[in-house]
Amino acid sequence: MTRGLSRFRLVVVAALLGVGLSACGGSDIQSSSTGGESSGGKECGDLRIAINPWTGYVSNAHVIGYVAQTKLGCNVTYPEVKEEVGWQGMASGSIDTIVENWGHNDLIKKYIDEQGTVQDAGLTGNDGIIGWYVPPWMAEKYPDITNWENLNKYADLFKTSESGGQGQLLDGDPSYVTNDEALVKNLDLNYKVVVGGSEAGLIQSFRSAEKNKTPLLAYFYEPQWFFSEMKLVRVELPPYTDGCDADAAKVACDYPPYKLNKLIATSFAESGSPAVDLIKNFTWTNDDQNLVSTWIARDNMTPDDAAKKWVEENPDKVDAWLG
């Protein structure tokens, strides 16, 4: 997920949150309504936090937004965009921050190194993992299926109407960081990548596969609340080594570990807004994010209500962000 070359992760939030998300790839930026209460935004002004289409990101955004709104008086809005569109928005001045970034070396070069319109705002504290997974029943029945070298032996199991005569590898939202097309080609796998469309779609596919004992091989990632419901089993790909993914067309190795970070528009960083330091200071764990995401996705809390609950239960962490 480079999520950093072209990638992997929900119209997840539409199904899980009940909040419609716009399509990301190349779409126009659309602004959603603000959540929670506002003190008028006189001190902080406007804070526009991009929303990318997976629940973990939504958790980051709304916790930061809730604190910015209730503690700093910011007028917070959440434009719904895909990853690359969010970078474009920061460069054009229509978005202030992206609060969970999965690599994107090409965008770093363009917007940070060359244009200087975007800045790194520090780590989120979350460790990101991307990979291929099977439901638990498959790993139990076919123990060697978790080694990529055995996938061709089982390709017939994964055939679908969409994959033709090949096995199906199910991917998520088209905007997610993914090397899967290159991996299938360069590892000589008899599989076809089929785009599932969202995080919610991937989750439902895993649920159905486990319940009905049907084969499924799919792209998935962490942090991810769904692992508390189902212990998916990861397929071991050739080990990642530094630089093995440098050429997107020749990738034949696993995804790298990701230290997820935040980004801010340079114009926003220089605005004097107190929200700048809040975003830079924000850090939490995978467990923190997964807890909020569970409240949103499984327990049907609104993102603002889930953020409020977490903030009220973690005053020391919030105080640290506020300095």
What average pLDDT does the segment 219-229 reach? 96
Res 242 pLDDT > 60: yes
Q: Mean pLDDT throughout 230-253?
A: 96
Mean of the pLDDT values across residues 7-35? 37
Q: Where residue 314 falls among pLDDT bands split at 50, 70, 90?
A: very high
Classified as helix, coil or strand, 55 is helix
Percent above pLDDT 90 for the chain: 80
Binned at pLDDT 50, 70 and 90, residue 263 comes out as: very high
pLDDT-wise least confident of 6-10, 75-79, 187-191: 6-10
| Averaged pLDDT, 220-239 | 97
Q: Give the model's pLDDT for residue 131.
A: 97
pLDDT more than 70, % of the chain: 87
- 3-class SS of residue 80: strand
Q: What is the pLDDT of residue 38?
A: 39
Residue 6's region, left for phi above 0, alpha for psi from -120 to 50, else beta, is beta
So what's the pLDDT on residue 4? 41
Using alpha carbons, list the distances in angstroms from residue 155 to 139, 262, 263, 299, 320: 15, 39, 40, 36, 51
Give the pLDDT confidence of 39-67 residue by residue, as tens digits. 344 479 999 999 999 999 999 999 999 99
- Angle among Cα 6, 11, 16 to the nearest 5 degrees reads 130
**Average pLDDT for residues 65-82, to the nearest whole number?**
96
Which residue type is seen at 103?
Answer: G
Q: What residue type is 109 in one-letter code?
A: K
**Cα(216)–Cα(124) distance, rounded to whole angstroms?**
32
The three-class DSSP label of residue 33 is coil
- 79: its two tokens: 């434009």
Q: Which helix (H) or strand (E) holds 295?
A: helix 286-297
Give the span between the Cα atoms of 4 and 287, in whole angstroms: 23
**Rounded (5°) CA angle 84-85-87:** 65
Res 105: pLDDT: 86
Instruction: Go through the domains of the chain in sequence order and give each one's CATH number.
Output: 12-128+260-322 (3.40.190.10), 129-250 (3.40.190.100)
Average pLDDT over residues 132-148: 98
In this prediction, residue 49 carries a pLDDT of 98
Please state, as a whole number, how many other Cβ atoms lie within 10 Å of the Cβ of residue 75: 17
Confidence of residue 10 (pLDDT cuts 50, 70, 90): very low
In this structure, are strands 46-48 and 75-80 parallel, antiparallel, or unpaired? parallel
Listed in sequence order, the residues at least 6 apart from 198 whose beta carbon sits closer than 8 Å to its beta carbon are 10, 11, 12, 14, 15, 53, 172, 173
For residue 32, with 0-12 CB atoms within 10 Å meaning exposed, 13-18 middle and 19 or more buried, which class applies?
middle
Neighbours of 77 (CB within 10 A): 18
| 3-class state of residue 79 by DSSP | strand
What is the average pLDDT across 176-185?
Answer: 94
Which residues are paired to 77 by β-bridges? 48
Q: What integer pLDDT is reported at residue 174 of this predicted model?
A: 86
